[in-house]
Structure 1
Amino acid sequence: MGSLAGRIKPAVRYRGVATAYEAADGNGACLYGPAPNLMVAAMNHTDYESAKACGAYVLVRAANGKSITVRIVNECPLPCAPGQLDLSQQAFAKLAKLSVGRLPITWTLLSPALSSPISIRYKVGSSQYWCGIQAIGHRNPLATLEVRTAKGWRKLQRTDYNYFLSPDGSGCGKAIRITDIYGQRLSIDGIAIKPDVAQSTRVQFARH
């Protein structure tokens, strides 16, 4: 279970501190775009792990017994310490008054109930000669994204801005295969190269 996970592993309780930031429309370093709600957070640089934390849902608990679920959409740069979460002001306010400033917390990875399927988006500038691919709205953190090429499946490198790149264009516009940290694998066909358009799929990872 979770053998494909990076630093953030299932069933582990992390300790840290919560701070707050002005999240605006909820977009951030993960480049998902405006968030449907502002229950979002920025993961500290270390646990962000070059975008591996992007899209993860975490349950945050404060010592006062209050808790909230947030989605990771941003990176909190150093000096954000390991374990630290920079919550949107809206999320922080559900745990304590903003004037508290720094709040001791624990947090754990969640696999939440979601009704919507995953979407796929090609980066601006993508073509058959170069492309960046992003998955949006996945229930569990992503471990890998692959594209089908003439030689079989090719694993693409993830960038710290949360796109998987095919520098020579191989596999661009072809079938896509994504794997979550639990080893669940989903194959997706029929996603055309339409830069900056989130195209809905019919699939979603199962809960864990």
Structure 2
Amino acid sequence: MGQKVRPTGFRVGVMENWRSRWYAPKREYGDLLAEDFKIRKYVSEKYQFAEIAKVEIERTRDQVIIHLFTARPGVIIGRKGQEVDRLKGDLEELTGRRMDLKIVEIGNANRNAKLVADKIAQQLSKRGSFRRAIKKTLDEVMSSGVYGVKIEMSGRLGGAEMSRKEKASRGSIPLSTLRRHVDYGLSEAKTPQGVIGVKVWIDLGDYSDEETADGTNAKAGQASKKPKKTYKR
């Protein structure tokens, strides 16, 4: 039997930082963990179109700081910041705590595994050909300057009566090399025939070669001198 580990979870505490950063006594830990889940679920459902890759949560004594990593920050900010103020108010009403939102822009969506998986899932939901989606995505991701990419789909592909798996890869995906930044993303495509799971692995290179925290400048020669933008609200 294969022993498979999520690449990002495998590197947490060694090379990757935790997605939730806070401390709590034992009697409060479960409630805060469930609250983090509610925040992530609410943001992902309400802003499916905003291309949110991940949500990081920090807690202090009197407030919650939420970092939204997105490829479309303008959609979340809205006109004159109205949309982000509305989101802040909704989250404060949901949790009963004071919120502080920080929006971090992702420079290249093709270098983020979660966004790539969501993009494939959207094509499958619109009844697109899964083979065409795989081939086009592999070309786009490799052209963005990564070292390797692997895509796996599972479900009733093409409306078949029996579910099956399809895999395709380009380049290298060293899953067990901790110094390599292997990004991982999972998404689901809801089709009339059932749910199709989409997994994406992207090798962004060594952590030591990166210039930004989100891995947008992993490969030498593709590096940009511009720092990533952060919008505070």
Q: Same fold (TM over 0.5)?
A: no
Which of the two has higher C-alpha Rg? Answer: 2
Flag the structure with higher helix content. 2
The TM-score with structure 1 as length reference comes to 0.32
Greater relative contact order (Cα < 8 A, sep 6+): 1
Flag the structure with higher strand content. 1
